[in-house]
Amino acid sequence: MIITLSIFYYLFLVAVAVFLLYSLFNVYHLLRFGFFSLINVLVIVLYVLIAASFLYFSFSILMTVDWSTPLIDFGNMSNNPF
């Protein structure tokens, strides 16, 4: 059995899911309970822009990685990636 580098990609996807969920809760709170003010609107818009740019940047970096690279090969334990 071979464990590939893709395990870290899945880890990243889980982190993105948690990030999106908590971001949604936060934005909902700011929209639902925040005053209609310039600073509140600005924070929401800026956050959405920064979050979207960061996710775009992250995925564009991670797309270049070969996730099929073996990380641990249980059939050949002497295969040390380092």
Q: Where along the sequence are the contacts to other proteins (CB under 8 A)?
A: 5, 8-9, 11-12, 15-16, 18-19, 22-23, 25-27, 29-37, 40-41, 43, 47, 50-51, 54, 58, 61-62, 65, 69, 71, 81-82
Nearest distance in Å: CB 2, other proteins: 13
Kindly state the tokens that stand for 16: 């993105």
Contact 70, 2 (CB under 8 A): yes
Q: Closest distance between other proteins and the C-beta of residue 76, in Å?
A: 16
Kindly report the backbone phi and psi dihedral angles of residue 67, in degrees, each rounded to the nearest multiple of 5, phi listed first. -75, -10
With CA atoms as reference, report the closest residue to 68 among 1, 5, 12.
5
Q: Based on CB atoms, which residue is closest to other proteins, 2 or 15?
A: 15
In the complex with other proteins, which residue's Cβ is closer, 2 or 31? 31
Q: What does the CA dihedral 60, 64, 68, 74 come to, rounded to 10 degrees?
A: -90
